[in-house]
């Protein structure tokens, strides 16, 4: 009953499309114009991707920290490592640059040698005062040398903050206005005004300025994403059109297909604008994905049209059959592909949810476009010439299909042994996979901003903030001597970890206060003794600048303190070891009943987010498998057929995971997408094959061997065509500068190639070997839906 309704639905659909050609084209044009108008709402991501849901405990802690101390990632750092830097002209030009940067409204303040304040004791008023390091611009080399010597040898408070004593590297820290850090204003300022000033400085002095800090890294990374969108779209169009033309040898067929996918890309951008989603490293992949996924639709439809033309030469009948016969099969395959992407919607990650929504909508959109545009455009054209139909008899494609048939017919045992060996080896490889939680691992290694990250890691021990928040549970508890000693003990532990930078906290300020109390002698840069504490802190309390100095380290009530350190880019396993070591020491130093202490910061947020994401994506992959299994059950109403259909699609996923383990490719947000995407696409081949197999069973009176070989010959060519297009289409992502995108492209391409071979060799082999098991009344029942109508081969 359902099958009859389906057949009738597609026949009516074909009539509606072909009778209302002009109206449908006008509606497509109008909707495309509407989508184009939504482009103005598109915006590129300005904030750091947060992979955790808003109500996750780690996010709640992070937001609590931001509420108390403000944005942690608002610092942009500039550094110079050059023996000629400390000359009069260059040193003064550096200080001028600091003034110029500080003059912009987007900048909160700049910390540099130009405005560096030195803590000193006013013996008359018995209080601490801040005096500028530079009262006037130095005019002689001796004056510059004196300033350098004083800074490097007498001000340990600023060591690793503004200078590296060992290498002589000096840096300036620019703090952006916290209100613009996560807006497009930050991007405009960094790419235009700031870059212009730095370029001028480098041109005038000949010095190389190194730039880093999370706002700068995020801006340059986002710009790379923007630059790559156009590159991907052009590459995907170029590769798929060349392959398409190679297969069909028809300019007009290629042109029509390119028109379909270009409109699909316009719709993709329009939907991003309509839903007002940000363009991220994931959503930037959708337009080229639409091209790669849309071309197989065009191949199936145009191939069927040309087959029908070759059979009887009747254009109207050919177009009607293209819609009524291929429409249903193409819809089913697009639904399974969209399902693979739609499973991301169930994750709690906003980033993945938006990706899943836009991708799944656009996959259905590209199906509708191809189903409408291709038959309508062909209806206005003359019949294909004989030369355009030659590809239907390509010997080399036939040779490939015949090769797969020989393997299935004569070497099934070899096929099973190979599959089992691959399975075992892959499982061994899976156990070697690491999880990566580094926010900079996927960034383009060749770009200057990435090289600068490595420079700052070497000179200042990292750029990714890690914050430790200490709540003393009582007002003014931070400045108690016992609390300060505990913070100092934890700071010592942090300093012992090579991947972490020297920590900065209220302890540094208190040590600096003691040094100032003893007239700036460096050896007194230490915590006051119990005897010293009362009068040193008494002097500090009288100081007018004390409140301003403390606000960066302690909240307004004096109850909560922060310890700031920076982490190098390390492997996830090492990051977890560092976290465990710090938590162990925190538990020893700060008793739970008296203190509440937690760690937060960008580095840890990304680590936790990655692990959370991996867990969610495994669930989404499991859901994709379940949905497609249910879909197969509805189509074929046989548990054995479900198992048989899933094996050739799951094996390539396991093999890919094994390859990742042996190749050292970690599980991370970009590579975990491979499995859901590849599974959703590869199962299309299974549906096409089994649908044709089912049809052949009926035609051949349930003779399984004959039906399997007939289905293999019939579907092998289309499966080969589409798999080649998908393979090379996804391969365009290899040209990316982002490591994760490169891995995604390579892994999806390889997985789809494995899946094609599995569906052409392993699937038919299983059907033949399990002939007796599956040849029963349950399996031979008429399916709920005839994907391919039985008249297809009879005309």
For the chain, the helix, strand and coil percentages under 3-state DSSP, each to the nearest 5: 70, 10, 25
Q: Report residue 663 CA to chain centroid gap.
A: 20
pLDDT digits (tens, 9 = 90+) for 628-654: 777 777 766 677 777 887 888 888 888
- Residues 669/436, Cβ–Cβ less than 8 Å: no
Instruction: Give the closest residue to 707 by CA, choosing from 716, 699, 717.
Output: 699
- Residues 714/729, Cβ–Cβ less than 8 Å: no
Instruction: Give the closest residue to 782 by CA, choosing from 640, 638, 644.
Output: 638
Q: What percent of the chain has pLDDT over 90?
A: 9
- Residues 374/301, Cβ–Cβ less than 8 Å: yes
Highest mean pLDDT among 487-496, 598-607, 657-666: 487-496
Residue 468, strand partner residues: 563, 599
Q: How many CA atoms lie within 13 A of 768 on its CB side?
A: 24
Region 389-401: what's the mean pLDDT?
A: 67
Residue 470, strand partner residues: 561, 597
**Cα 162 to Cα 173, 456, 460, 488, distances in angstroms:** 8, 12, 9, 21
382: helix, strand or coil = coil
pLDDT digits (tens, 9 = 90+) for 584-623: 999 999 998 888 888 888 778 877 777 777 777 777 778 7
- Residues 142/559, Cβ–Cβ less than 8 Å: no
What is the number of other CB atoms lying within 10 angstroms of the CB of residue 38? 18
Region 406-413: what's the mean pLDDT?
A: 85
Q: Which CATH class is domain 2-47+220-431+606-793?
A: mainly alpha
Region 708-732: what's the mean pLDDT?
A: 80
Alpha helices, DSSP H, located in 278-411: 286-312, 315-321, 327-342, 350-379, 395-410
pLDDT at 281: 72
Indicate the burial class of 795 (C-beta count within 10 angstroms; 0-12, 13-18, 19 or more).
Answer: exposed
pLDDT at 319: 81
pLDDT at 792: 44
pLDDT at 573: 78
Region 257-262: what's the mean pLDDT?
A: 89
pLDDT at 49: 61
Q: How confident is the model at residue 517 (pLDDT cuts 50, 70, 90)?
A: confident
pLDDT over 60 (residue 391): no
Q: Report residue 292 CA to chain centroid gap.
A: 19
Indicate the burial class of 352 (C-beta count within 10 angstroms; 0-12, 13-18, 19 or more).
Answer: buried
Highest mean pLDDT among 26-40, 125-139, 340-354: 26-40
- Residues 517/536, Cβ–Cβ less than 8 Å: yes
pLDDT at 23: 92
What residue spans define the domains of the chain?
A: 2-47+220-431+606-793, 69-186+203-214+444-464+479-552
- Residues 490/563, Cβ–Cβ less than 8 Å: yes
- Residues 72/601, Cβ–Cβ less than 8 Å: yes
pLDDT digits (tens, 9 = 90+) for 552-580: 788 888 888 889 888 888 877 788 888 89
Q: What percent of the chain has pLDDT over 70?
A: 89
Region 326-339: what's the mean pLDDT?
A: 79
pLDDT over 50 (residue 1): no
Region 164-175: what's the mean pLDDT?
A: 88
Determine the Cα–Cα distance for residues 253 and 298; give it in Å rounded to an integer. 9
Indicate the burial class of 227 (C-beta count within 10 angstroms; 0-12, 13-18, 19 or more).
Answer: exposed
pLDDT at 544: 46
129's tokens: 């005062």
468: helix, strand or coil = strand
Determine the Cα–Cα distance for residues 142 and 38; give it in Å rounded to an integer. 63
Instruction: Give the closest residue to 325 by CA, choosing from 21, 22, 705, 714.
Output: 714
pLDDT at 199: 92
Region 462-480: what's the mean pLDDT?
A: 85
Summary mean pLDDT of the chain: 81
Region 366-392: what's the mean pLDDT?
A: 78
Highest mean pLDDT among 73-87, 673-687, 728-742: 73-87
For residue 351, give every residue at least 6 positions away whose Cβ sits within 8 Å of its Cβ, in sequence order, or none.
49, 50, 51, 280, 282, 669
Instruction: Give the closest residue to 544 by CA, choosing from 125, 133, 156.
Output: 125
pLDDT digits (tens, 9 = 90+) for 46-105: 556 666 777 778 888 888 888 877 766 788 889 999 888 889 999 999 999 999 998 888
Determine the Cα–Cα distance for residues 608 and 572; give it in Å rounded to an integer. 10
For residue 166, give every residue at least 6 positions away whose Cβ sits within 8 Å of its Cβ, in sequence order, or none.
none
Q: How confident is the model at residue 526 (pLDDT cuts 50, 70, 90)?
A: confident
Instruction: Give the closest residue to 302 by CA, choosing from 263, 249, 365, 359.
Output: 249
* Helix H or strand E segment including 560: strand 560-567
Determine the Cα–Cα distance for residues 341 and 323; give it in Å rounded to an integer. 25
pLDDT at 785: 46
Residue with tokens 């021990």: 461
pLDDT at 28: 92
pLDDT at 298: 85
pLDDT at 299: 81
b/e code 315-334 from CB counts within 10 Å (16+ = b): beebbbbbbbbbbbbbbbbb
pLDDT at 385: 66
pLDDT at 528: 82
* Helix H or strand E segment including 211: strand 210-212
For residue 534, give every residue at least 6 positions away whose Cβ sits within 8 Å of its Cβ, in sequence order, or none.
none
Region 200-210: what's the mean pLDDT?
A: 91
pLDDT over 80 (residue 684): no
Determine the Cα–Cα distance for residues 156 and 170; give it in Å rounded to an integer. 14
Q: Report residue 47 CA to chain centroid gap.
A: 14
Determine the Cα–Cα distance for residues 642 and 646; give it in Å rounded to an integer. 6
418: helix, strand or coil = helix
Determine the Cα–Cα distance for residues 38 and 44; give it in Å rounded to an integer. 14
Q: How confident is the model at residue 514 (pLDDT cuts 50, 70, 90)?
A: confident
Determine the Cα–Cα distance for residues 320 and 300; give it in Å rounded to an integer. 14
Determine the Cα–Cα distance for residues 685 and 688; give it in Å rounded to an integer. 5
Q: How confident is the model at residue 267 (pLDDT cuts 50, 70, 90)?
A: very high
* Helix H or strand E segment including 535: helix 530-542
601: helix, strand or coil = coil
């Amino acid at each position: 009953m359902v099958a009859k309704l389906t057949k009738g639905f597609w026949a009516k659909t074909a009539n509606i499309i072909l009778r209302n050609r002009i109206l449908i084209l006008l509606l497509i044009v109008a909707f495309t114009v509407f989508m184009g108008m939504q482009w103005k709402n598109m915006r590129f991501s300005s904030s750091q991707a947060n992979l955790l849901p808003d109500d996750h405990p780690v996010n709640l802690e992070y937001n609590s920290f931001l509420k108390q101390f403000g944005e942690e990632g608002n610092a942009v750092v500039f550094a110079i490592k050059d023996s000629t830097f400390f000359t009069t002209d260059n040193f003064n030009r550096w200080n001028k640059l600091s003034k110029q940067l500080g003059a912009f409204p987007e900048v909160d303040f700049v910390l540099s040698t130009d405005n560096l304040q030195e803590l000193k004791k006013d013996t008359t008023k018995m209080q601490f005062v801040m005096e500028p390091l530079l009262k006037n611009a130095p005019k002689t080399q001796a004056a510059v040398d004196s300033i350098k010597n004083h800074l490097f040898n007498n001000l340990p408070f600023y060591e690793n903050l503004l200078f590296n004593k060992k290498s002589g590297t000096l840096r300036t820290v620019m703090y952006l206005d916290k209100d613009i850090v996560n807006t497009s204003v930050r991007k405009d300022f960094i790419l235009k005004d700031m870059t212009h000033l730095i370029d001028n400085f480098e041109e005038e002095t000949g010095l190389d300025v190194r730039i880093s800090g999370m706002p700068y890294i995020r801006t340059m990374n986002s710009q790379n994403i923007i630059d790559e969108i156009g590159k991907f779209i052009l590459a995907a169009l170029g590769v798929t059109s060349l392959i398409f033309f190679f297969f069909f040898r028809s300019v007009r067929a290629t042109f029509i297909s390119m028109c379909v996918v270009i409109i699909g890309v316009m719709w993709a951008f329009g939907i991003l604008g309509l839903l007002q989603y940000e363009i991220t490293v994931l959503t930037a992949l959708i337009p080229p994905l639409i091209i790669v996924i849309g071309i197989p639709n065009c191949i199936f439809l145009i191939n069927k049209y040309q087959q029908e033309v070759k059979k009887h030469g009747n254009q109207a009948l050919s177009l009607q059959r293209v819609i009524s016969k291929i429409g249903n099969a193409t819809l089913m395959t697009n639904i399974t592909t969209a399902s693979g992407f739609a499973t991301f919607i169930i994750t709690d990650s906003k980033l993945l949810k938006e990706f899943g929504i836009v991708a799944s909508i656009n996959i259905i959109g590209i199906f509708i476009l191809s189903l409408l545009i291709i038959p309508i455009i062909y209806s206005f054209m003359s019949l294909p010439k004989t030369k355009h139909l030659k590809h239907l008899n390509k010997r080399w494609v036939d040779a490939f299909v015949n090769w797969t048939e020989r393997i299935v017919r004569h070497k099934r045992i070899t096929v099973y042994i190979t599959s089992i060996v691959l399975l075992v080896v892959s499982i061994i490889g899976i156990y070697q996979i690491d999880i990566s939680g580094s926010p900079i691992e996927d960034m383009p290694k060749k770009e200057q901003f990435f090289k600068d990250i490595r420079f700052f890691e070497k000179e200042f021990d990292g750029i990714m903030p890690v914050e430790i928040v200490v709540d003393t549970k009582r007002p003014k508890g931070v400045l108690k001597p016992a609390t300060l000693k505990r913070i100092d003990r934890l700071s010592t532990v942090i300093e012992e970890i090579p991947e972490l930078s020297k920590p900065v906290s209220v302890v540094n300020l208190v040590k600096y206060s003691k040094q100032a109390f003893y007239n700036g002698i460096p050896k007194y840069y230490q915590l006051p003794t119990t005897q010293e504490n009362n009068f040193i802190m008494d002097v500090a309390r009288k100081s007018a600048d004390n409140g301003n100095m403390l606000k960066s380290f302690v909240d307004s009530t004096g109850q909560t303190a922060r310890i700031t350190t920076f982490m190098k880019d390390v492997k996830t396993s090492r990051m977890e070891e560092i976290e465990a070591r710090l938590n162990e020491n925190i538990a020893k130093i700060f008793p739970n009943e008296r203190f509440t202490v937690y760690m937060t910061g960008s580095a840890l947020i990304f680590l936790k987010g990655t692990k959370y994401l991996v867990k969610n994506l495994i669930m989404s992959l499991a859901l994709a498998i379940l949905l497609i299994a249910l879909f197969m059950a509805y189509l074929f109403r046989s548990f054995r057929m479900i198992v048989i259909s899933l094996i050739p699609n799951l094996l390539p996923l396991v093999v890919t995971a094994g390859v990742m383990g042996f190749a050292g490719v970690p599980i991370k947000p970009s590579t975990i997408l491979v499995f859901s995407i590849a599974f959703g696409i590869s199962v299309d081949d299974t549906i096409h094959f089994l649908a044709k197999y089912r049809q052949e069973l009926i035609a051949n009176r349930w003779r399984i061997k004959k039906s399997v070989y007939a289905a293999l010959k019939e579907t092998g060519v289309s499966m080969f065509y589409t798999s080649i297009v998908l393979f090379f289409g996804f391969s365009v992502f290899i040209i990316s500068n982002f490591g994760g995108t490169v891995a995604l492209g390579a892994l999806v391409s390889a997985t789809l190639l494995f899946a094609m071979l599995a569906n052409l060799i392993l699937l038919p082999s299983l059907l033949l070997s399990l002939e007796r098991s599956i040849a029963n009344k349950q399996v031979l029942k008429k399916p709920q839906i005839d994907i391919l109508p039985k008249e297809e081969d009879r005309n």
